[in-house]
Amino acid sequence: MIPFIDLAAQQARLKPRIDAAIARVLAHGAYVMGPEVREFESRLAAFCGARLALSCGNGTDALALALMGWDIGVGDAVFCPAFTFTATAEVPPWMGAEPVFVDILPDTYNLDPDHLEAAIEATWAEGRLTPKVVIAVDLFGQPADYPRIQAICRRHGLKLLADSAQGFGCTLGGEHPITWSDAVATSFFPAKPLGCYGDGGAVLTNDPDLWERMDSLRVHGKSTPSDGCVAGHDAKYLNARIGMNSRLDTLQAAILLEKLAVFEDEIARRQPIAARYGAGLAEVCLQTPIVIPGGRSTWAQYVVEHRDRDGLAAHLKTRGVPTAVYYPVPMHRQRPYAHFAKGPGGLPVSDAKSEKVIALPMHPYLAPELQDEIIDGVREYNG
Ligand SMILES: Cc1ncc(COP(=O)(O)O)c(C=O)c1O
């Protein structure tokens, strides 16, 4: 079977450096919040031009830390797409807020700005919830339409949180999503474009006050310098707010430092692979990926649309080609989320896309010969 994501190929490239990085952590023994964590945070921020980065336990907590840092709570509306991974919609209800589902654009699969604005206006008009935050997702690796979404957020006084778990490293006009957002959340789950060897996540922001509150929240709400401390006591045991335990392990930070060093090269390697797929598949698929003008995708996933995706998946399996479906059921159709509000007119694009999308193997080390085998497999199914 061809690997769907070949982490072993990446490890073969980096193994001596990763082994040495792990050995250094074992030698110094600071397994929690060790020096690699701070170094990784500053390199991560520099990579995407953010002022600050705060690492945490996973990408889901990264979303939660930003929302908690803004005091989002009961009665607040958080606008997000329904065609996304669960975590985007899962986090607002943790703090008593509600997701309001917005439809996506049919070409990029990212938040539809017109439908977003209609959803915000309808929520204001109804008066049950207070619009507070928009979560824009960089689905499959490509940036959402940040300039338009930011303008809408400003018009309505909302915070903009980028869920860049799949898209960390993507750019629009050469700029990273932090250029337009109040915070960016990302995930280092192993299969993500920048992944570690376990769970990990981070939030990027240009706002030092938000960073300080999130730093407190990731360690059980410990006191920060601005909270004021009682002299003589460890801030860790003086709690200024209710928080959580969500830290990036030092070992994962050490591994990520090595992976970050080759990340730009890996994003560059993915571009010709996506282009080769596009050239080979455009005429046999209903749709091959369309990237927003000026956008660069990290190609976390290479997703096409097919008239018979189940038949195609079964056929490719017989040829040793794995596939995956992201996402078969949009969030507004999932039982725990079905009662939450939707933008006016519902989500017809999300519904239609969830029936046709299918993802093909994609990673920076996918050899042209293997790619051609995959392309041939898809073309053959079409006869
Ligand atoms: C769009 C999106 N948001 C959030 C997450 C959550 O990240 P994690 O699995 O690290 O909690 C993921 C990935 O799993 C994701 O794809």
pLDDT tens-digit series, residues 88-133: 999 999 999 999 999 999 999 999 999 999 999 999 999 999 999 9
Structure confidence at residue 221 as a pLDDT band (50, 70, 90): very high
Overall average pLDDT of the 34-40 stretch: 98
**Does the CB atom of residue 301 touch ligand 1 within 6 A?**
no
Task: Please tell me the predicted confidence (pLDDT) of residue 168.
Answer: 98
Whole-number percent of the chain with pLDDT over 90 = 95
CA torsion 301-49-151-146 (nearest 10°) is -10
Weakest mean pLDDT among 222-236, 318-332, 339-353 = 222-236
**Does the CB atom of residue 62 touch ligand 1 within 6 A?**
no
**Does the CB atom of residue 85 touch ligand 1 within 6 A?**
yes
- What is 114-129 written as a DSSP string? HHHHHHHHHHHHH-SS
Nearest CA to ligand 1 atom 12: 165
Pocket of ligand 1, candidates 135, 139, 166, 252: which has the most ligand atoms within 8 Å of its Cβ, to mutate? 166
The torsion region of residue 117 among left (phi > 0), alpha (psi -120 to 50) and beta comes to: alpha
Could you give the angle at which helices 7-28 and 35-48 cross, rounded to 10 degrees?
Answer: 140
Task: Decide which of 131 and 231 is more confident.
Answer: 131
**Does the CB atom of residue 186 touch ligand 1 within 6 A?**
no
**Does the CB atom of residue 201 touch ligand 1 within 6 A?**
yes
Strands (E), 57-139: 76-81, 98-102, 130-137
Inter-CA distances, 41 with 77, 252, 362, 367, Å: 30, 12, 27, 32
Nearest CA to ligand 1 atom 4: 87
**Does the CB atom of residue 87 touch ligand 1 within 6 A?**
yes
Q: Is the pTM of this model over 0.85?
A: yes
Count of residues for the chain? 383
Residue type, 221: G
Give the Å distance between the CA of 38 and the centre of ligand 1.
22
Task: Please tell me the predicted confidence (pLDDT) of residue 233.
Answer: 77
Contacts of residue 63, defined as CB under 8 A and 6 or more positions apart, other chains included, come to 87, 88, 91, 135, 161, 163, 185
Contact yes or no for 93/68 (Cβ under 8 A)? no
Nearest CA to ligand 1 atom 10: 59
pLDDT tens-digit series, residues 268-283: 999 999 999 999 999 9
Structure confidence at residue 324 as a pLDDT band (50, 70, 90): very high
Task: Please tell me the predicted confidence (pLDDT) of residue 234.
Answer: 77
Residues facing residue 100 across a β-bridge = 79
Atom of ligand 1 nearest to the CA of 138: 1
Task: Please tell me the predicted confidence (pLDDT) of residue 108.
Answer: 98
Preceding peptide of 327 cis, ω within 30°? yes
- In the predicted structure, residue 383 carries a pLDDT above the cut 60: no
- What is 145-214 written as a DSSP string? -HHHHHHHHHHHT-EEEEE-TTTTT-EETTB-GGGT-SEEEEE--TTSSS--SS--EEEEES-HHHHHHH
**Does the CB atom of residue 110 touch ligand 1 within 6 A?**
no
Whole-number mean pLDDT of the chain?
97
pLDDT tens-digit series, residues 172-220: 999 999 999 999 999 999 999 999 999 999 999 999 999 999 999 999 9
